[in-house]
A and B are shown apart, each in its own frame.
Chain A
Amino acid sequence: MNTCVILAAGQGKRIQPLTFTRPKVMLPIANKPIIEWNLLKAKKAGIKHFIFIIGYKSEIVRNYFKDGSEWDVHIEYVNQGKPQGTGHAIGVVEPFIDKDFIVLSGDTIFGSSDISNIIDKQESMGVYEVDNPEEYGVVEIQDEMVTRIHEKMQNPISKKINAGIYHFSKEIFDYIKKTGLSSRGEYELTDSLNNMIQDISIHSIMIKQWRDIGYPWDMFRANEEILDEIEPVINGNVEPNVTLKGPVMIEEGTIVMNGSYIQGPTIIGKNCKIGPNCYIRPYTAIGDGCHIGAATEIKNSIVMNNSNIPHHNYVGDSIIGSGCNLGSGTKVANLRLDKKTIIVSHYGRRINTERRKLGVIMGDNVQTGINAVINVGSIIGNDVSIGPGTIVQGCIEPNSMLF
């Protein structure tokens, strides 16, 4: 067993606007794409050979990983073609598989010890316990064997859900071929699994680490979990009179200027310009080539590559896409005055995020003018221009101009 198949073809509509410009698996968590975390963790569990099933904006995945030699692994790519469900996606790789293999969902970050356990057990699948099983596939288990998977049960019979990690033998392909279209019009892997269970027993393996990214704001939890594990490393250039508290990771080429106050866990990427006199608070991930300038405060946020938050800004509980530039004085609100949980209008749907604090979800290449104000729970599409003094709220379509 030495092959790991990662499902990376998804478009990630629920994570728009961030996925208008990248596939879901390339969303950065603590400065690395989701799929890279899975690659690293699977590699730690002993895997050297990967097959990425790609589709939507596949060139971004391919250009990032190339043949995998930079990670000391071998990566092969297979284009899913028409997206027709998870079962179809796995069916596509059949010609490249010669013995058993493991499969990871691309939108979930797994732990390496869990991956090891799955590798060790032929014909197995990962199971995870959650509080809201009705939103997932509920797994019925008897004596550690899976007896059935129920999709989105109204009244779940258990809290154990399908974690989206499997160890299959080649037999799975026969069951995928026999599976018909589901009511959603897709070839569902769970339908094939339910058929397979009749003939071949599948072990359930309880897993400990599982972070799935369903909506943009789910990225905060994943980011926190990974940042909690980082060690303090300073590779950049830190000037005198900079305060670093807790685990702070600063990568090469970055300069942190006088008077900056940085609280970990926090990660700052390569070639950034930080400060002088800025305040970076815990659980912040700043990508490569960013500029965080004077009198700016950032808290619990993900800032992607080449974005500037350069003067007099406040950004809290927010995700800022790559290539953004906030004008001087642009501020993001992250807490309702009545302190209630924040409801987001996400492309025509109103969703309760169950978060008391949430700032903005900002797509790539957004420019804001001076003193623009962004209200709690705003969704801003990519390539949006916001004029000076403008108040922004709700869901803004890509390529809009607001004045």
Chain B
Amino acid sequence: MCGIIGYVGFRNARTVSIDCLKRLEYRGYDSAGIGIFNEKIQVFKEVGYISNLEKHIPHIKGCIALAQTRWATHGKVTKINAHPHVSNNEKITIVHNGIIENFKELKQELISKGYEFKSETDSEVFAHLIQDCYKDNIKQAVYDAVQQVKGYYALVVLCADEPDVLIGARKDSPLVIGVGDNENFLASDIPAFLKYTNRVIYLNDGEICRLTSKSIEIFGNDNQPLKREQELISWDVSGAEKTGFPHFMLKEIYEQTDTVHQVIRGRISEIQREVMFPESIESIIKNGSNDIHIVACGTSYYAGLAGKYLIEQLTGKPVFVHLASEYRYYGNYNKNSLIIGVTQSGETLDTIAALKKAKHHGCKTLVVTNVIGSSATRIADGFILTQSGPEIGVAATKTFTAQVLVLLLIALKLGVFNKTIGADSLYQLIQSLKKLPRVVQHVLDQSDHIKKVAEQLVNAHSVFFIGRGINFPLSLEGALKLKEISYIHAEGFAAGELKHGPFALLTEDTPVVAIIGSDETYEKMVSNIGEVKARGPKVIAIAEENDETIKQFVDEVIPYPSNKGGLSCIPIIVIMQLLAYHVADLKECSIDKPRNLAKSVTVE
């Protein structure tokens, strides 16, 4: 995820661009850059926060600019890799958000034509490709260039030969036009320019726009001009980073359709029926080990537990999940083990300490994290990014989902290596993965229903979450979400364990949330619910949508979409996040900043 902007108008473009970029900092902040036209195109880049970039740019004139704040996915975090990228003749400048899937082929072709590449990024391809296509019309050149590109992009282009024109293009990555008076904007997200205008035009996939300070033209897939009405944004600047959502947490819950897309993109191929990681990662997974140890804290630990069920089920390889704070002192380190650290920030101190110790003992180490360049990525032998973009709400939502999915991809890859997954079942799983964004959207559409159910939990002093199989770690995660943002005491249990103690705490005033899978434990879960109901509490079931029988045993049902591929864990996670969110919202809790908690725990 990156943030890009373009500006053409009458104000000082340097000031406006920096101002707009800061509003996109939530989309990434490992490096930033800006290109301004002032007699010629001048480019400035810096590693680090946008404020760092601001310090290093001289005060220059110019009323047209493009800029980017980067969250690296291709290539290291360096000044050279930062955008904007400039073509060899120094006429074409671009900023890009997305991935060019056929960039190796395009790069080879351009190199053979004599173009020289300066950075490691895929994005640089656009600069040279557009130069290659340019005759006398920058809009036409961008159109011709994007026809050759496979992948996805939001693109802003500035050409020194047409210095009053800004071109925007998008496919699968966001780009919005801000309509001003004697000025126009392009940005990944509306908050960037909301201070200057609240009139927007949404650009659709495959479309290209040509902006000057006084005009906006939009061209469709077929390069024909289109007419598009502008829309008015009613939310104000203070709510802007949340793009209209009342809390970051809710925004991030809703972003999960995209998160799911981001995690699997480029890693599964429906045609080749394959799961793909970089070679170095594949060799770690392949030659790993006798057993796998997942080490993590908090929500990541529960993602690890869910991963255990997925990996064991798909590969038959034993998986042990450890709390990092324990494992680093009391763990058993065997050099034939593969240690997988799971940490959103890549800076969780206990997890890092455990990884260091494991490496010291000669274990292979792998990290699942959201932050490239973080400590964990530097320590481990290999890392896999969850590619979810920055998460601002303290309660992890989209990164948990992404972690579970990455662990699932590892399980699939390992299953292929160990030949425990057949080609057909792999294909079926890949298809289910492709459908996930729609499944998540389906759950999000139920938000109002989940809010109604949440009313049942608002006055509870204690809530139990129960489940079997992978639904057990999901129960733990559901309970964690509820307690950390709504301050209601909540515990997750394996459903079969209730009668071994927790029953003693069960009263009429302890609502129980039961996650019901449609596997061989279905009957067992129903009888567990029967035992619970006998003690009088309300039972809320999270059950498959075509399950009609469960309704007679419980008070409320939240359905999740049926999924034969066994990926029901993802919609269930989203349901529990929404449930916790609505309870906390009804209780008017401080959702994005719960008391006593911090996002990234870098202390012991």
Interface 9-residue window, one of A77-85, A247-255, A311-319:
A77-85
- B10 contacts which chain A residues (CB < 8 A)? 95-96
Tell me the smallest distance from the CB of A402 to a CB of chain B, in Å. 19
Encode contact with B along A75-94: 1 for CB under 8 Å, 0 otherwise.
Answer: 01111011000000000100
Contact at A82–B181, with CB atoms within 8 Å? no
* Interface status of A120 (Cβ within 8 A of chain B): no
The interface bits of chain B over 154-189 (1 if a CB of A lies within 8 angstroms of the residue's CB, else 0) are 000000000000000000000000001110000000
Contact partners of A116 in chain B: CB under 8 A: none
CB of B598, distance to nearest CB on chain A (Å): 30
The secondary structure that dominates the B interface is loop
- The B-contacting residues of A in range 40-70, CB under 8 angstroms, are 58-59
B198 touches A82 (CB 8 A): no
Which chain B residue has the least Cβ–Cβ distance from A59?
A: B232
Give the CA-CA distance A211 to B180 in the complex, in Å. 32
| Residues of B close to A78: CB separation below 8 A | 181-182
B19 and A79 within 8 A (CB): no
Query: B407 → chain A, closest Cβ, in Å?
Result: 44
**Least CB distance, A391 to chain B, in whole angstroms:** 27
Taking A59-B198, A59-B199 as contacts, is the C-beta distance between A92 and B182 under 8 angstroms?
no
Whether a CB of chain A sits under 8 angstroms from the CB of B286 is no
> How many residues of chain A are within 8 Å of chain B by beta carbon?
11
Q: In the complex, A77 Cα to B183 Cα: how many Å? A: 11
Asked if residues B19 and A82 are in contact (CB atoms below 8 Å), the reply is yes
Cross-chain contact B181 with A77 (CB below 8 angstroms) = yes
For the complex, count residues of B whose C-beta is within 8 A of A: 13
Interchain nearest-CB distance for B160 vs A (Å): 22
A49 CB → nearest B CB, Å? 15
DSSP class of A's interface residues: helix, strand, loop or mixed? mixed
Chain A proximity of B371: nearest CB distance (Å) = 30
CA distance A171 to B182 in the complex (A): 23
Given known pairs A59-B199, A96-B10, the reply for A79 and B180 (CB within 8 Å) is yes
Best-buried of A59, A81, A82, A95 by chain B (most CB within 10 Å): A81
Q: How far is the CA of A96 from the CA of B11 in the complex (A)?
A: 11
| Candidates A59, A76, A81, A95; contact of B196 at CB < 8 Å | A81
Q: B196 contacts which chain A residues (CB < 8 A)?
A: 79, 81
What are the residues of chain B within 8 A of A92 when measuring CB–CB? 11
A118 to chain B, nearest CB (A): 26
Q: Min CB distance, A330 to chain B, in Å?
A: 30
Given A58-B198, A59-B199, the answer on whether A79 and B181 have CB atoms closer than 8 Å is yes
Asked if B431 is at the interface (CB within 8 A of a chain A CB), the reply is no
A216 to B59, CA, bound (A): 43
Q: Name A52's closest neighbour in chain B (CB-CB).
A: B181
Chain A residues lying within 8 Å of B181, measured Cβ to Cβ, are 76-79
Whether A81 pairs with B232 at a CB distance below 8 angstroms is no
Q: Which residues of B contact A81 (CB under 8 A)?
A: 11, 16, 19, 195-196
Closest A-chain residue to B233, C-beta based? A59
- Does B197 lie at the interface of the complex (its beta carbon under 8 Å from any beta carbon of A)? yes
Residues of A within 8 A of B195 (CB): 81-82
| Most chain A CB inside 10 Å of its own CB: which residue of B181, B198, B232 | B181
Report B-chain residues with C-beta under 8 Å of the C-beta of A59.
198-199, 232
Q: How far is the CB of A257 from chain B (nearest CB, A)?
A: 38
Least distance between B319 CB and chain A CB atoms (Å): 51
Q: In residues 219-261 of chain A, which contact B (Cβ within 8 Å)?
A: none
* B199 and A96 contacting across the interface, CB-CB below 8 Å: no
Contact partners of B11 in chain A: CB under 8 A: 81, 92
Given the complex, which residues of B lie within 8 Å of A79, measured CB to CB?
Answer: 180-181, 196-197
Interface flags, B76-106, vs A, CB<8A=1, else 0: 0000000000000000000000000000000
A59 vs B196: C-alpha distance in the bound complex, in angstroms? 12
Residue of B nearest to A83 (CB): B195
Measured in the bound complex, the distance between the Cα atoms of B197 and A82 in whole Å is 11
Q: How far is the CA of A76 from the CA of B195 in the complex (A)?
A: 18
Q: How far is the CA of A92 from the CA of B182 in the complex (A)?
A: 12
Within 8 A of A (CB), among B216-267: 232
Q: How far is the CA of A81 from the CA of B197 in the complex (A)?
A: 8
Q: Do B232 and A96 touch (CB < 8 A)? A: no
Q: How far is the CA of A58 from the CA of B195 in the complex (A)?
A: 11
Chain A residue numbers with a CB within 8 Å of B180 are 79
* Cα-based distance from A82 to B19 in the complex (angstroms): 9
Docked complex: A87-114 residues within 8 A CB-CB of B: 92, 95-96
Chain A residues within an 8 Å CB radius of B16: 81
Known: A59-B199, A59-B232, A76-B182. 16 other contacts (CB 8 A): A59-B198, A77-B181, A78-B181, A78-B182, A79-B180, A79-B181, A79-B197, A81-B11, A81-B16, A81-B19, A81-B195, A82-B19, A82-B195, A92-B11, A96-B10, A96-B182
Q: Which 4 A-B pairs have the closest CB atoms?
A: A95-B10, A77-B181, A81-B196, A81-B195
Residues of A at the B interface (CB closer than 8 Å) are 58-59, 76-79, 81-82, 92, 95-96
21 residue pairs bridging A and B, Cβ less than 8 Å apart: A58-B197, A58-B198, A59-B198, A59-B199, A59-B232, A76-B181, A77-B181, A78-B181, A78-B182, A79-B180, A79-B181, A79-B196, A79-B197, A81-B11, A81-B16, A81-B19, A81-B195, A82-B195, A92-B11, A95-B10, A96-B182
